[in-house]
């Protein structure tokens, strides 16, 4: 029996490997990318990455993702938020002259991520820049990205306007990104908003502020659950 198993193993190991299906030619997708199809840009990037695993580190790959972001791909724009090394996107992400035209175009093509990124690049500029940034942050927020709401609140505060409605949207949002929402929820909770108190309680309970980690505090979470329940947030009752 042992010899039979050894014989079978030998046959298995000596069998030719199954042929892998050939990848599609990226050239047609690159042409469609140049013609304005954002998905084709990302697909071509994936095909070339499959052929060369280090492709994503090249200037060509970064330029392709910039093109995809400008055509409205949230996923492509999100790559430029990478924080780990190696990071081929970092030199572009915070270069206002290079990246702002990309994300302005991406925002016009309905990328909520691009709107948020453009607003961030405009936030520290002139009052005219801030007003443009405010409008782009509003679009991001309205399209369901609560980082856009948080950025809208920041710009409103910088302009001396009431940020509370935007802070409320930032706290309520369920599509987390890079920005912390704890401060927004604290402000809105202090205004007697039970939903905000509940969201804040969940942050302390889970040790998560959206996509960010934070220190867990079970006692503070319980206090906030009780407060939220008293303010009419049924989901908090009994927590």
Q: How many residues does the chain have?
A: 239
Buried b (16+ CB within 10 A) or exposed e, 86-114: eebbeebbeeeeebbebbbbbbbeebbbb
Tokens of 169: 């949207």
**Dist. CA 113–CA 71, nearest whole Å:** 12
Residue with tokens 């599509």: 175
Instruction: Specify the pLDDT at position 6.
Output: 43
| Residue 107 three-state SS | helix
**Dist. CA 112–CA 77, nearest whole Å:** 9
pLDDT in tens, 4-30: 444 444 444 444 444 456 678 999 999
Residue with tokens 């060509």: 60
Query: Residue 68: exposed, middle, or buried by beta-carbon count in 10 A (0-12, 13-18, 19+)?
Result: buried
Instruction: Specify the pLDDT at position 29.
Output: 95
Picking from 143, 145, 141, the residue whose alpha carbon sits closest to that of residue 156 is 141
pLDDT in tens, 167-226: 999 998 766 677 889 999 999 999 999 999 999 999 999 998 877 889 999 999 999 999
pLDDT in tens, 130-165: 999 999 999 999 998 989 999 999 999 999 999 999
pTM of the model: 0.83
Instruction: Specify the pLDDT at position 216.
Output: 94
**Continuous segment of H or E residues that includes residue 208:** strand 208-209
**Dist. CA 37–CA 188, nearest whole Å:** 41
Instruction: Specify the pLDDT at position 174.
Output: 63
CB 115 within 8 A of CB 107: yes
**Dist. CA 146–CA 138, nearest whole Å:** 10
**Continuous segment of H or E residues that includes residue 213:** strand 212-213
Instruction: Specify the pLDDT at position 83.
Output: 87
Name residues whose C-beta falls within 8 Å of residue 116's C-beta, 6 or more positions apart in sequence. 136, 137, 140, 145, 147, 148, 151, 177
CB 209 within 8 A of CB 179: no
Write down the domain spans for the chain: 27-101, 111-169, 180-239
Residue 226 to residues 81, 85, 190, 218, 231: CA-CA distances in angstroms? 37, 43, 14, 12, 9
Name residues whose C-beta falls within 8 Å of residue 101's C-beta, 6 or more positions apart in sequence. 70
pLDDT in tens, 35-80: 999 999 999 999 999 999 999 999 999 999 999 999 999 999 999 9
| Residue 209 three-state SS | strand
CB 126 within 8 A of CB 119: no
């Amino acid at each position: 029996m042992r010899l039979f198993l050894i014989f079978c193993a030998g046959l298995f190991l000596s069998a030719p490997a199954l042929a892998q299906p050939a990848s599609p030619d990226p050239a047609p997708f690159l042409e469609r990318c140049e013609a304005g199809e954002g998905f084709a840009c990302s697909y071509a990037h994936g095909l070339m990455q499959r052929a060369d695993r280090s492709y994503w580190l090249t200037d060509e790959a970064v330029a392709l993702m910039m093109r995809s972001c400008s055509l409205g791909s949230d996923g492509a724009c999100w790559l430029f938020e990478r924080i780990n090394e190696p990071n081929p996107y970092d030199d572009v992400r915070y270069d206002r002259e290079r990246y702002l035209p990309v994300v302005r175009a991406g925002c016009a093509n309905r990328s909520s991520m691009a709107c948020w990124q453009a607003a961030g690049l405009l936030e520290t500029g002139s009052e005219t820049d801030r007003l443009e940034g405010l409008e782009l942050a509003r679009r991001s927020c309205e399209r369901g990205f609560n980082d856009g709401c948080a950025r809208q609140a920041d710009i409103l505060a910088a302009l001396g306007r009431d940020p509370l409605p935007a802070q409320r949207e930032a706290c309520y949002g369920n599509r987390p990104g890079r920005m912390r929402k704890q401060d927004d929820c604290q402000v809105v909770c202090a205004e007697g908003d039970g939903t905000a108190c509940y969201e804040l309680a969940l942050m302390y309970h889970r040790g998560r502020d959206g996509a960010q980690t934070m220190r867990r505090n079970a006692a503070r979470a319980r206090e906030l659950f009780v407060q939220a329940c008293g303010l009419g947030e049924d989901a908090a009752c009994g927590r």
